[in-house]
Structure 1
Amino acid sequence: MDLAEFPAMSRGDLRAMRTAIDGAFRDFTRAYGDTLESLFHPVQQLLIFIENLLIDTPWIIVLIALAGSIWVLGRNWKIVVGSVIALCLIGYFGMWEDTMRTIAMVTVCTMIAVAIGIPMGILMARSDRANAIVTPVLDMMQTMPSFVYLIPVVMIFGLGKVPGVIAVVIYAVPPVIRLTNLGIRQVAADMLEAAAAFGSSSWQTLKDVQMPLALPTIMAGVNQTIMMSLAMVVVASMIGVRGLGQPVLQAINNQYFTLGVMNGLAIVAIAIIFDRSTQAYGKRLQKHLEIVHG
């Protein structure tokens, strides 16, 4: 078939369609932008609170608190010592405040992603119809270029923290949804039959059997969500999100090699800390469940 004969929309019609869609979206943002912004005001306040708490608290207290949290998750001294050394180096090279802003952003985004992702994953696991509907949406979310997420949120909310949080959550939520769905679906049928034989309701089976057995897989999803949130930090800096991403963006624009590498390594260090901690916690859950069940 000759490509010249392919039935394509004319350039004029295509331009008219784009103009109509863009105009409708602008009208929507003007009409409902303030309402949507007020809905996300609590998220902004939470992010500001965590940022101020991490930045205004003396660094030694924050360091001890972070080390304690890492120990509670992983119960591994090697991870704790490595994390403390990495955080001390970050502070020594003057990146402490930006790092705290990044940790606050990742914490809030992960909390929101988990709050959305786990219920959605449960729904997909319990309904094949919901699974068939949501899976293509997740495919689109994971393949869409990350920069595209910035366009609608900036048009609605402008520059700042809230659009950054929304863009990061949209980019990072698919793994926790997928792996929650997978973990619940992988629970052995004989476990479900045993629960039914004991007279457990559907909710009791989910709460007492499926969720505990799926927790290691769900934690793997949370781990991937955290990693993707950190990966989105540099992109979100383009719309005014402060943290380690802004110096990297500045280094790209001005060709500052050292500035870019140092802040990039700080992001890598934070990613490794989160990754090792959550992986260790997932392994602890797995061992505990193996002992309990057998």
Structure 2
Amino acid sequence: MSESVAVLGSLHMDVLVSAARLPTLGETLIGNDWYQTPGGKGLNQAVACARAGAAVAMLGAVGNDAFGDALLAHLESQTIGVNGVARVPGARSGMSIVVRTPDDYAAVVSSQVNASLTEEMLLAWSNTLSSTDILVLQNEIPETVNVAAAALIRKRGGRVVLNAAPARAFSEAMLAQTSILVVNAVEAGMMGADPVEDLSSAWNGCRKLGEQFGCAVVVTAGPHGAAWTDHMADYGTVAGERVDVISSHGAGDTFIGHLVAQLASGAQLGQAVAIANRQAAVFVSTPRTMAVAA
């Protein structure tokens, strides 16, 4: 199968603990249920994109350990191509510890093998990158690898969607290869936009970042909705949908996955943002089973 979307990014095993609130500094807090589930922004976005109907290939690395086995098995169960996921002998798979409350969460990520990706790995990914239309990137792997992969796909006329999370300083090389920049309210502020507190300020931030970086921009504002501009005089906002939020953890990755799947199917940016906004609302209001992954 030829995949229309390639996601280059992190693969982590997430260990989640539920608690009534987040602990304060120095506090040992008694939590409730815990479970482990495949994660990492790269894996999460690949899964969301595949579930939205796109043909997806995953590019990245896992350790030669039990977490690596589980991460690969999960990708395969979602019909995601894994030929581009390297098994690195002697390395540990990435993981994160997440404390989830009824209305918030906090996480600590240990990148491990994700931080050791190199440009030399592009040779193994060249066939995938030469046959896909959209490359999806995040900031959980080295930027040099992101830039090199983006340059390859842009050279053949493909598009690069960069979810700049977690926020970090941009290099000129990365900016030059970015087709669509997607950030949330916090990340938009860290990148130079005024505080994003509602849909109007999301649009102002979107416009400012578009002018600053010279690419299409999407700014998500949680329950308020999202704003977008394609840098070609076309722009708009989409209001948030009123739902009873069960958990917002993973909402951003769900948004990205549906956004990219729509773009891959030929939708315009505004159409894709509207559908992604709706699916993120469905996601945050849908119960997730607290079960221990194999």
Structure with bigger strand share is 2
| Fold shared per TM-score above 0.5 | no
Structure with bigger helix share is 1
TM-score, L = length of structure 1: 0.24
TM-score, L = length of structure 2: 0.24
Larger Rg: 1
